[in-house]
Structure 1
Amino acid sequence: MTAVFSGRLVAAGAQTLTVLLLARLSTPQDFGLVIGVQSAVIALTWILGFGLGPYMSVVRAREPDSVVVHEIHRLNKFVSVGLMVLLTIALCLSQLWFDHAWWFFPLILALGFQRDAAVLNSIAVADGRTRLFSSNLALRRVMALAIFAATAFMTVPIAFSFCASIAISEAICNWRLRRGIEFSPVGRPRIHARSILRDSKHYWMDTVGGQLRMLDVAVAGVVMGPVASGLMAVPSKIASPIMLIPTSLATLLLPRTSARGSISRSEFMIGAALATSAIAVILVGVGVYAEMIIVFMLGEQFQEAVAVTRIYFVGFICLSMIYMINAAMQGLKLGPLVSRASIGGSVLSLCGLCLGGFYGGLESAAMGYVMGIGIQLIALVALWRGRPSGGITRDVKELG
């Protein structure tokens, strides 16, 4: 846990500095454009990733030598290449209407490497190689910061420099990750890809739900304009180091729960509640001084984001609990329940954001977004307490 948390802490710090540099060198409109495009492309990439990353974590933990592991890896490579080709075609077509679309081409390369690394990271964590996983994550963010800082003041556009720094760091760290894990893909798979996709569908749907929620910045830009999208991007960027606590716990909890096949629900709920309480204390403290922090870090042009940030922090407290419950329920073969709650909560959040933004403005949009997260948490707790675990998904041995 210490290795994962420390690696993510360094990574979040470097990522925060990178975003701050981008914000300082950009107008709110350009900042919102870059963050919105990045969020939309990341969401699309994960949505079309079919949940292979988290599914690999479960399979590798339960049956390390299963042929399913090799088939997931092969299928993920095929999906990664296909996504890169599709996004490249879409970018070329968008250049006909948007003169600066080429700024984001390096982002496509970066996301291709990210999709490949998603499966490799799952193998590392399931094998107990948490130091490799965390150090690679930290190195990737630090390299991106260093490259962006070195190129930000050149004659190239800031957006292109930002995307290029991400692509270069992703390529180097992907190579390092491949060399570090103990995994050699087999040449001929013995099972059909359709079986893999059928059994990964619940992890995929949960991923879809999580990525849909991250479209808030892009949706805010459509409903309220590019300035609003820039302001809506502030809360998640400020809170990212704090949210490392629940995401680190979830990263470790999924393979461990999958390998054990059981967990004490009462003990888990107590532990999750304590972790969430600690996160709430930190977020409330940051929220009190949000105006000073935002003005100092981003500048006075982002001062209007203070109220939105405080509202979002309430949702982040609920979201921290959701991360941990999702990981535990997926490890106990309750993936169908998790996926339904995830999709439903994200749709409610985006609908609430649209309605609030259209009729009331930024603060109302943030309130509508947070309400969807709260409803999802209530639904998950009810499902967690009311359903038995196990017996819902097929065992890995049936596939291998």
Structure 2
Amino acid sequence: MTREIKVQGTVADGYEAVRDEFTAVLAAEDPHYAGQLAAYVKGRKVVDLWAGPDTDSSTLYGVYSSTKGAAHLVVALLVQDGTLDLDREVAHYWPEFAAGGKGAATLRELLAHRVGVVGVDGGFSPEELADDRAIAARLAGQRPRWRPGTAFGYHALVIGALTGEVVFRATGRTLQELYEERVRAPHGLDFFLGLPEEHEGRFRSVLPMDPTPEQEALLATAATGPRSLTSIAFNRNGAEPTDIESLPNSRPVRAKGPASVGGVASARGLAGMYAAAVTGVEGRESLLKPATVAEFGQVQSVGYDLVSRAHKVFAVGFQATSDVLFPFLGAGSIGHSGAGGSQAFADPSSGLAYGYTRRRYAFPGGSAPENERLARVVHEAALATG
């Protein structure tokens, strides 16, 4: 049974089908749905839609691991500048990281989730999880869970802290500071790594997942023991196991903006960041050169992910978006999804930058299923309009 949903916002000529598809998606969702969809093509905003109670285009949501795209855009800028070298050892920048047999691990391997430092014995406290430098200090001495470079597994809650510590050691600035100065503020993006108090009124707390009985059974079947690699990576192995769904609802997490999961954004902010990075916006030069985009979009890890226990593909710091989630996109597309359902990416071949947010945590976690439909229709319109 469908229901009446009011979709607000605008689409450019040639993108009317996107509004229709967004409306169709919402009609199948729960009555408390709230979300946003935005897209840029070749630097021009072509989609800016939203729906649901207490929501407009400037409403901010927790975007979980979509934060990793912002974090690794900063790393890409520093590689482009020559400040960082992907093939130097992490310990070259951060000597303490050599402990436990990690001395030969390179920055490229780290960014490709190949180093095996996915968590710590005994878990992190909630205070530590909000603080990237505290996470990095504990991980520096941790023995890797596999020999670096021999396998890969999603460093879900810690990759931003690890790469952020490299950034700090190389520049004396935090990753969050550089993101604010070089990316967010110059482009006026509603995508924050560290939400200022004055913007708190725009944030909407995450609504927990509402699974059907069949979905609950699937979740129970997929559950792992507290000492499994999956539980270590998602910080379920300590005295205070992390509830991933509620992370963005913590003010310390929003305020500090941990670079793995702590970002707060609108769909417009997500899409705008990728547009600024890859195509430039409204005639401005792109932040990344085409060669840098190609370097960071090159597949580094493909196959069985030891943490997620599924087939995954990672580029350099980004998900290789066209190789797993959206095969209709051009090769070399870069992006990242978030556990609550958010999705953001750039497709250099079509010039498309896409952003999607939703308030209710989507089953089963990761890119919400409706993204496949929405991204496809936006991409088709981008190709048709040239």
Shared fold (TM-score, shorter chain, > 0.5):
no
> Larger Cα Rg: Structure 1 or Structure 2?
1
TM-score (norm. length: structure 2): 0.30
Q: Which of the pair is proportionally richer in strand?
A: 2
TM-score (norm. length: structure 1): 0.29
